[in-house]
Chain A
Amino acid sequence: MADLRCPMCSKPNPEGAEECAFCGARLKPVLAGSPPPPADQGLPPMPDWLSRLRAPEDEPPAPEQPSATEGEGDWLARLRSTDPQWSSSEWGQEAAAPSAAAASSAPEEPARPSARAEEGPDWLTRLREASSEETGPPEGEVPSWLAEAGPPAPTAAPAPAVPDSGGNVPDWLTRVRAKREEEAGDEQAEADAADVLLPDVFNLEKTGWHSGLTGLLVEPAGEHPPDSLPTAAPSAPVWLEPEGPGDEPPLRTGELPGMLAGKPSDAKRESGPPAAEPPRPTGRLAEGKPARTTDRLAPPAPGSEQAKPPARSTGRLSRLAAAAKQPPAPPPAAVPPATPPEAEPPARSTGRLARLADAAAESAAPPPTPPFGFGGLEEETGLSSLIPAAEEPPSQPTRPPVVLPTTTETEKPADAEAGKSDWLKELERPTPEPQAPLPHAPALVLQEGESADFDLGSVDVPDWLTDAGAMPSEAAIASDARPDLAPATLPTWLEAMRPVGTFRSVVEILPEDEQAVESAGPLAGLRGVLMAEPIVALPRITGVGSTRLSISERQVTQADLLQKLVQDELRELPTVARGRARLPLLRWAIGGLLLLAVALPILLRLSVFALPTVEPIELGHLVDLVAGLPADRAVLLVFDYEPANAGELEVVVGPLLEDLMSKGYALATVSTRPTGPPLAERLVRQRGAAYDYQNGEDYVHLGYLSGGVPAIQLFAADPRAAVLSGFAASVDSNGGLAAGWNSPLLEGVQSLSDFGTVAVITAGTETARAWIEQASPWLAGRPLVMVLSAGVEPMIRPYYEALTPQVNGLLSGEPAAVAYELRNGKAGPAVARWNPFSLGILVVEILLACGGVYGIGAWLVQALRPRPKAKRP
């Protein structure tokens, strides 16, 4: 089954398809009068304008489709008849045969169109009449003007037009071709002046498109009444213009171009290109003129018109360009005022359409209708004004825009090619040379000689476009005052964010001509580039002065100091040469003096210093206190000093012990230090030897009191619970260990107040204070005696000299010990160490004095020395 070629995309489609599967175009152009497609086909509803075109009487019955198709395609047939290529092509020949057969029925049909003419517009009526007279090309066959798009085929000289080659060429085509021949010469001159480059695709001359449409709106003289023809609206497209006066007969009423003549041509296409049906020669062929082969794909024959370099487009574009240069033609009076007022007079088309318009204006004033029967859309949309007044294109057979190979008209399908379709054969035929340039629309691509500037003033711009162009400029709008609109007010917070003074708030945009061209960077050569300078590229100084910090002198000084410290860290200090180790001569000297001062009296038994005669005040109280102790109570001695302090404290406490021993007081010792009990044992044994004091009988060691200050409080509260075992237990007379609380000396002792007195022997301030603080509340009036080192005595004296003293007896220092020994009447170690001690104190006093003098002198010398000026950093 032969495929249907889509008229738009030229792709094959299955036979019977209504629409192209690739682009969606109708494969079967709708012809005026053709019955509407069945509803079951799912087609969209027919618009009104199309329905007007298609009167119910125009819808032939299905069996009569060929006849209806023939009647509707008469106008196309006329167009094609003027194309010698079409006539010579197989398709044209095939169409000519049915057209001849349909010619017999042509007289019948005009009656119908004539009857219909009164119903619709005149031009449409004429179209219908024209279409009813002649039949279109056979369906499925490609006209010769499409053949040029086929494979290259040897171009041949256009065969002479066969007057009646089997009577297959439609009359309309014949007329078209005749006109084309007349206008060929005129268009050629126009094409030269146009200088519009167009590819061959858009070259309607070569494609033959114009040849198929030239007879669309042209009414052959005498054949149809002028009034029956559609007025050639001045706004009709140029490509629909006739190529010359009297070139082709206009389309009859109801007759649509081939591309839109759906049913007749589709019917023919669907039935397949009749192999044996030659195309109807119309136009040129009907008139016996050689058909022109236009093979768009085939290389042009030398000397042929197609061989000309495609430097210009000869057709609509050229006419547009020419019309742009020509003054616009006066509009016809028959133009209805349906279109909006135009700013400029629209371009007028000259040629067939113009002639039609004139004729229509003279006779009547039918409303201009677009060539394709779009009703008044053309005027409404203003498209009619787009068509510039251009010369009539050369008469050429109009062809649908289908790219098909062309074949010469003389070639007939050989017997060997009987299987080929006629349209294919037609494509293979060389297309005849166009005698005149086909009208074509100006292409978008400029050809040589053409400038990019296009005077839009010569083009009929629709009113709605002109209104848009007539819009005031932005400046005009901005300058116009709009009292109805209130100026925008920014909120305060937004206004506060608005930068002021830092950059330009309004950028002045210069005209493009005045704008500088960027000379560097990636945007070189462009205009309108935002200038980087001086806002971004160049540094700028802010107009507003920055807030200055108020720096005080102290901060400056501190900053300088910090900087100096940092610099000193980085500065490399020279390595100090390690010198010889300096002997501590001063230390040796002082030490030697002191040793000498102490040793000489001992070694030499010197008695230089007299014994002190003044007793400390607190000694008398102590002696009285000791004298008043109960004899049946033991005296608690707390030995809380280190062995290092034994040399002093043993000397100081010695007289007290001898006093207690002399009075026969029982002694109990305890210590919060581990080394206390041994020291206590050593001292009591040494001093008690003279008084025959025995361990366990005259004195007892309670031992070590562990726990620190809490242990003192515990011992004060419950002595037996604090100390569990004694020290240096001795065997009593019964053989038991008389140690600790087992000793009969401590019988009846349950609390601290059961002791006669508590004497704390210590060299530390904290120990003394702890005993004072923890034990005083538990003494219940019992005296607390402090035997202190000379250095601790100042810190404990406030406890002694208070109105409510917490310390009842105080003994401290060598002088007090010496005095105590003298009071006891027994010289002891204290007296023996008086001279060394005194000499040592004397040396120390001298050294202190010398040191003081040296210090004062050095200070004076430094004060009197001039200070060097401080170097500024």
Chain B
Amino acid sequence: MSEITTLVDALIGPIVAALLTMMVLSYLIGDNPLFRIASHLFVGVAAGYAGALAVRSVLWPGLIQPVLQAGIGGLMNPAAVLTLLVPAFLAFLLVLKVVPGASRLGTFSTAFLVGVGAAVVVGGAITGTLIPQSLAAMDTLNPAVASPQTGEIGLERVVNVIIVLVGTISTLAYFRFTLRRRPAGEARPAGPISLLGKGLSALGRSFIALAFGVMYAGAMSATLLILTQRIQFLWDTLTGLLPGP
């Protein structure tokens, strides 16, 4: 068994992987069947693996095995009812979603999932992002205070804080359309407040652009690193298959 594993890990695996890599990289030429085969193969394998893993790692240890171990008598336990029967019933209803005539029955399970997920996400967003980040944006401008992570202190930190503050305000201002129009459709001439708003909006647009640029740079860096790793893999595979001198 270990020999097979070693063979797979040392020979078959790399060859298949190399071929699949080449097939995916063939998209550089254009859409071709090799690329499609590779992509379909990947989707299928991933779905199959996920399904198998879900059954092995979730359903079996979480639902089937406890029920079998508890037995009928054990299922009468209120704790078993809540932890086994109710989830089983909800899972069964969720499976009915694939049945055209009974798909409406799975709506309850879907609604339960969506409701719980939304509540968790919203609660976490508020307590984990909105409040802390808002507080973080209102950082002290005391130059004596040093940044704990970056170690910035003094003017550098103050400038950084100001930049962050201005960037935050201007970004939020960018998404606020304050320009009003007359009933006839004509735009109202800009006033001093509207000019300030226009300035902040433009500044916020700049910060947004910088953020997108940084994100793009990071994505590009990551992609290049991935490409490098693939090329390296291919070369290593190729050189491993080739008889070395």
Per the 8 Å Cβ criterion, residues 123-148 of B in contact with A are 124-125, 127-129, 132-133, 135-136, 139-140, 145, 147-148
Name the one of A552, A727, A799 contacting B185, with C-beta atoms under 8 angstroms.
Answer: A552
Given A710-B116, A800-B149, A651-B128 contact (CB < 8 Å) = no
Q: How many residues of A contact B (CB 8 A)?
A: 73
Q: How far is the CB of A873 from chain B (nearest CB, A)?
A: 20
Q: How far is the CB of B61 from chain A (nearest CB, A)?
A: 4
> Which of A145-153, A321-329, A416-424, A598-606 forms part of the interface with chain B?
A598-606
Query: A772 contacts B50, CB within 8 Å?
Result: no
Is B218 located at the chain interface by the 8 A CB criterion? yes
Interchain residue pairs A-B with the least CB separation, the first 6: A773-B128, A647-B229, A773-B124, A802-B136, A790-B218, A791-B219
Given A725-B57, A776-B128, A801-B150 contact (CB < 8 Å) = yes
Q: Tally the A-B contacts, defined by beta carbons under 8 Å.
A: 185
Given A647-B226, A770-B124, A773-B129, A836-B147 contact (CB < 8 Å) = no
Complex A-B: 10 CB contacts under 8 Å: A602-B231, A674-B50, A772-B129, A773-B127, A777-B128, A791-B215, A794-B215, A802-B133, A803-B140, A813-B218
> Which of A332-340, A464-472, A701-709, A864-872 forms part of the interface with chain B?
A701-709
Name the one of B56, B124, B211 contacting A774, with C-beta atoms under 8 angstroms.
Answer: B124
Q: How far is the CB of A18 from chain B (nearest CB, A)?
A: 94
Name the one of B62, B125, B147 contacting A801, with C-beta atoms under 8 angstroms.
Answer: B147
Is B209 located at the chain interface by the 8 A CB criterion? no
Instruction: Give complex CA distance A645, B218 in Å.
Output: 13
Query: A841 contacts B224, CB within 8 Å?
Result: yes
Given A554-B186, A789-B218, A804-B235 contact (CB < 8 Å) = no
Per the 8 Å Cβ criterion, residues 22-52 of B in contact with A are 28-30, 46, 49-50
Contact partners of A801 in chain B: CB under 8 A:
136, 147, 149-150
Query: A794 contacts B218, CB within 8 Å?
Result: yes
Query: B135 contacts A674, CB within 8 Å?
Result: no
Q: How far is the CB of B149 from chain A (nearest CB, A)?
A: 5
> Which of A229-237, A349-357, A588-596 forms part of the interface with chain B?
A588-596
Name the one of B62, B120, B145 contacting A713, with C-beta atoms under 8 angstroms.
Answer: B120
Query: B231 contacts A789, CB within 8 Å?
Result: no
Is B230 located at the chain interface by the 8 A CB criterion? yes
Query: A645 contacts B231, CB within 8 Å?
Result: no
Q: How far is the CB of B169 from chain A (nearest CB, A)?
A: 15
Q: Which residue of A lies closest to B212 (CB)?
A: A794
Instruction: Give complex CA distance A644, B50 in Å.
Output: 16
Contact partners of B116 in chain A: CB under 8 A:
710
Instruction: Give complex CA distance A199, B186 in Å.
Output: 93
Using A773-B124, A789-B222 as known contacts, list a sample of 13 further A-B pairs with CB atoms less than 8 Å apart, ordered by residue number in A. Answer: A599-B235, A602-B231, A647-B229, A648-B222, A674-B54, A706-B58, A724-B58, A770-B124, A773-B125, A774-B120, A774-B128, A791-B216, A798-B136
Is B214 located at the chain interface by the 8 A CB criterion? yes
Contact partners of B211 in chain A: CB under 8 A:
794
Is A769 located at the chain interface by the 8 A CB criterion? yes
Interface string of A612-626 (1 = CB under 8 A from B): 000001100100000
Query: B232 contacts A602, CB within 8 Å?
Result: yes
Is A264 located at the chain interface by the 8 A CB criterion? no
Interface string of B106-131 (1 = CB under 8 A from A): 00000000001100110011011100
Q: Which of A552, A674, A713, A727 has the most CB of B within 10 A?
A: A674
Instruction: Give complex CA distance A228, B135 in Å.
Output: 141
Instruction: Give complex CA distance A602, B227 in Å.
Output: 12
Is A482 located at the chain interface by the 8 A CB criterion? no
Name the one of B139, B148, B231 contacting A836, with C-beta atoms under 8 angstroms.
Answer: B231
Is A285 located at the chain interface by the 8 A CB criterion? no
Query: B149 contacts A805, CB within 8 Å?
Result: yes
Q: How far is the CB of A833 from chain B (nearest CB, A)?
A: 5
Q: How far is the CB of B239 from chain A (nearest CB, A)?
A: 10
Q: How far is the CB of B103 from chain A (nearest CB, A)?
A: 22
Is B6 located at the chain interface by the 8 A CB criterion? no
Is B228 located at the chain interface by the 8 A CB criterion? yes
Query: B117 contacts A708, CB within 8 Å?
Result: yes
Is B178 located at the chain interface by the 8 A CB criterion? no
Is A406 located at the chain interface by the 8 A CB criterion? no
Contact partners of B54 in chain A: CB under 8 A:
674, 704, 706
Contact partners of B220 in chain A: CB under 8 A:
841, 844
Query: B225 contacts A837, CB within 8 Å?
Result: yes
Q: Which residue of B lies closest to A652 (CB)?
A: B225
Is B77 located at the chain interface by the 8 A CB criterion? no
Interface string of A404-415 (1 = CB under 8 A from B): 000000000000
Instruction: Give complex CA distance A3, B116 in Å.
Output: 113
Instruction: Give complex CA distance A769, B216 in Å.
Output: 19
Interface string of A670-694 (1 = CB under 8 A from B): 0000110110000000000000000
Q: How far is the CB of A403 from chain B (nearest CB, A)?
A: 94
Instruction: Give complex CA distance A675, B57 in Å.
Output: 12
Interface string of B167-204 (1 = CB under 8 A from A): 00000000000000000111000000000000000000
Name the one of B120, B129, B185 contacting A709, with C-beta atoms under 8 angstroms.
Answer: B120
Q: How far is the CB of B207 from chain A (nearest CB, A)?
A: 12
Q: How far is the CB of A206 from chain B (nearest CB, A)?
A: 96
Instruction: Give complex CA distance A589, B49 in Å.
Output: 37
Given A648-B229, A801-B150, A703-B224 contact (CB < 8 Å) = no
Contact partners of A678 in chain B: CB under 8 A:
49
Interface string of A543-555 (1 = CB under 8 A from B): 0000000001111
Instruction: Give complex CA distance A812, B225 in Å.
Output: 12
Is B151 located at the chain interface by the 8 A CB criterion? yes
Instruction: Give complex CA distance A644, B229 in Å.
Output: 11
Q: Which residue of A lies closest to B140 (CB)?
A: A803
Given A588-B28, A795-B215, A833-B232, A840-B224 contact (CB < 8 Å) = yes
Q: How far is the CB of A828 from chain B (nearest CB, A)?
A: 12
Q: How far is the CB of A737 from chain B (nearest CB, A)?
A: 12
Query: A598 contacts B149, CB within 8 Å?
Result: no
Contact partners of B127 in chain A: CB under 8 A:
773, 777
Contact partners of A803 in chain B: CB under 8 A:
135-136, 139-140, 145, 147-148
Per the 8 Å Cβ criterion, residues 748-771 of A in contact with B are 763, 769-770
Is A584 located at the chain interface by the 8 A CB criterion? yes
Query: A674 contacts B124, CB within 8 Å?
Result: no
Q: How far is the CB of B167 from chain A (nearest CB, A)?
A: 11
Q: Which residue of B lies closest to A800 (CB)?
A: B149
Query: A594 contacts B124, CB within 8 Å?
Result: no
Contact partners of B128 in chain A: CB under 8 A:
769, 772-774, 776-777, 806
Name the one of A553, A603, A710, A836 contacting B228, with C-beta atoms under 8 angstroms.
Answer: A836
Q: How far is the CB of A601 from chain B (nearest CB, A)?
A: 9
Q: Which residue of B lies closest to A601 (CB)?
A: B228
Is A8 located at the chain interface by the 8 A CB criterion? no
Given A552-B184, A791-B218, A805-B148, A833-B229 contact (CB < 8 Å) = yes
Name the one of B124, B216, B225 contacting A833, with C-beta atoms under 8 angstroms.
Answer: B225
